[in-house]
Chain A
Amino acid sequence: MTDFGAGASSTLLDVRNLSVRFRTRDGIVQAVSDLSFTVRRGETLGVVGESGSGKSVTSLAIMGLLNRERTDITGEILFEGNDLLKLKPDEMRRVRGRDVSMIFQDPFACLHPMYRVGDQIAEAVLAHQKVSKKVAMSRAVELLGAVGIPNAAIRARDYPHQFSGGMRQRAMIAMALVHNPDVLIADEPTTALDVTVQAQIVELIDRVKRDFDVGVILITHDLGVVSETATHVMVMYAGRAMEYGSNAEIFAGAQHPYTWGLLESMPTVEKKLDVLMPIEGSPPSLLHPPPGCPFHPRCKYRFEPCDKLRPPLAEIPGGHLDACHLPPERKREVWANRIVPEIAAPA
């Protein structure tokens, strides 16, 4: 059974009832609703969901990168006990990059094309430390080496266009590590990369987690990446957590029809399927979320209460958390008899 108890000594980030609403011309977009999760040192929380599920908005909220004028954020984001949402902008600036840092999907867009890679990382050093430029530069070179850039001292003098996609993502990771942060948020870090390079970056993030002793939030739509690297998994849909548990609890016993749908619809490299099983329809508009369970219009297993009553995220007896009205025994039966035979790898 997963221990979700807050306040444990190793808990770095404790997000409680986070909701994010955007005020737009068309109305209020309920991007994230009532989200709670924790990140601990040495853990990787995989956040899975489709576009519009609120996973990136969650990370931007943690980083304090949402425009507060047009956004209503409620709930608490406790970092080592302090609520980041209560910090003033200049206080937040001291947290950002030093305590919590982030790497983004597109390493092409995140480096300034006209400054040398080493200088950009050194600049990040100088943002929080009063050291000489020379010291900052040597720190940059050291970090580039640590993330696997060969001849780091020479390559630090390169411009971003001289780096390949994989190397740029490594440079971004180096920059994120400048101040030995406690929490590293990686938002789709491998999506823009090729498969073989993706494998390198996934391994690097895993190594960084151990070497730098950080807690990682890994945001991705790729269940494969999550299954191979995350210690905990949160499945999001329409701004809400649908299912939340340890890696084994999710991948060896998923309980939510949406998670099943994701697992079933993902083409697998391990066998040729007779038919692919898509989730019919498309994700709901967050301007007008459906009543009841947000997934009910697309759910194969919906029944009487689903379109009226929203199921809370609650603990399944003897297991993890999920938000679904189906009785537990029915879920276990569907998982074992219908989902596992469908997705299991051939022996």
Chain B
Amino acid sequence: MSATVQAQYATQTLDGRDNLVEVERLTKHFAVKQGVFAAGKGIVHAVEDVTLTVRKGETLGIVGESGCGKSTTARLIVRLLEPTAGAVRFEGRDITHAPQRQLRPLRRQMQMIFQDPYSSLNPRKSVGQIIGEPFSIHRTEKDVKRRVQELLARVGLSPEHYNRYPHEFSGGQRQRIGVARAIALQPRLIVCDEPVSALDVSVQAQILNLLKDLQKDFDLTYVFISHDLSVIRQVSDRIAVMYLGRVVELSESEALYEHPRHPYTAALLSAVPRHSPTTGTAQRKRIVLGGDVPSPVNPPEACVFHPRCPRFQRGHCDVETPILRSFEPGHEAACHYPVERWPMTEEELRRPLGATAGDSNETNG
């Protein structure tokens, strides 16, 4: 299938729900000065050619390691950043280069929840001021205090907390304040950027359940960013796996975990430590990727994953860029040698189907 057909396929609605956000060939480059004395200039390829959609009422999970471009993608979607190339459409409207004046009414529709509930709340403002600020900016509410107290109750805090300050709250409670602020204007879309990563395990589930309830009650659409595959599985309807600025796999949630197609997804899944009683200790053979994520200033040629990939084939993967192709309805991956079945051991993963003995670097190396 060609790239254009793919792009069309990706923006179509699969189950009759309309798309809230459509992102097409989105690219973001940042200029950097290299070296302390600004000798040369480089470009960080933060997001490269990302095409995806967010459907109304769904949770799209974006998962990947640090530096993979997941947060940049989210910031591009809500237009906190302006893309270098590509397009962002919100409810069919092109907002790629919309000026601030046009963006402001849109901001009511799109809100964010941030990772660190310690730095995302102004310590000098009371809870009432923090949650009430969206109302004063957008002048939508007369009885702000009453609304804020309703919101406090809705996120599981007490209305009496109105005059308290952030430092008086625990991490989980602060994140509830951040959630209340995000839902204040009844947005359509909320981008959750690692909303539970800074919280203790026992509290994580509280916030995840709260987000789930709110989604049901207010018909919210989430873009949920996390590095944690366990969290992503629990919250997402569909998942985009990102690596070095590119979407390498895009799938319905359960299909991704049952049979990952991209070797990077496979390695990520196998790297997650398990704690279920049946798995026991060290029975499972982990696929351990060598090395680290390369620098996005000089991303590898062709498939960006090839220097770390157990299925790497010289002369193919480092020459031709793989495009997202479909394996089953709603499951796409960008790989020349996709994973045939799952689970697979590292040994088996190193013998990709379709690779001739001649170009395998593993058999003779």
Contact = CB atoms under 8 A, between A and B. Distances in A.
Contact of B292 (A166, A202, A225, A263): A166
B275 A282 contact: no
A227 B278 contact: no
Interface stretch (B112-120, B223-231, B313-321, B348-356): B223-231
Contact of A269 (B208, B229, B277): B229
Nearest to A199: B271
Contacts of A166: 292
A109 interface: no
A278 B200 contact: no
Interface of B: 65-66, 170-173, 200-206, 208-209, 227-231, 233-234, 253-254, 257, 267-269, 271-282, 286, 288-289, 292-293
A270 B273 CA distance: 10
Interface in A185-241: 194-200, 202-203, 221-229
A28 interface: no
Nearest to A50: B200
Interface of A: 50-51, 164-167, 194-200, 202-203, 221-229, 247-248, 251-252, 261-263, 265-273, 275-280, 282-283, 298, 340, 343-345
B172 A282 contact: yes
A276 B288 contact: no
B273 A227 contact: yes
A300 to B, nearest CB: 12
A191 to B, nearest CB: 10
26 contacts: A194-B65, A196-B65, A196-B271, A199-B286, A199-B288, A202-B273, A203-B286, A224-B275, A225-B273, A251-B277, A251-B281, A265-B201, A266-B205, A267-B208, A267-B228, A268-B275, A269-B269, A270-B276, A271-B233, A276-B205, A276-B234, A279-B202, A279-B203, A279-B205, A344-B278, A345-B276
B303 to A, nearest CB: 17
A271 to B, nearest CB: 8
Contacts of B257: 269, 272
B234 A267 contact: yes
A221 B276 contact: no
Contacts of B253: 272
A195 B277 contact: no
Contacts of A280: 206
Nearest to A279: B202
Nearest to B67: A194
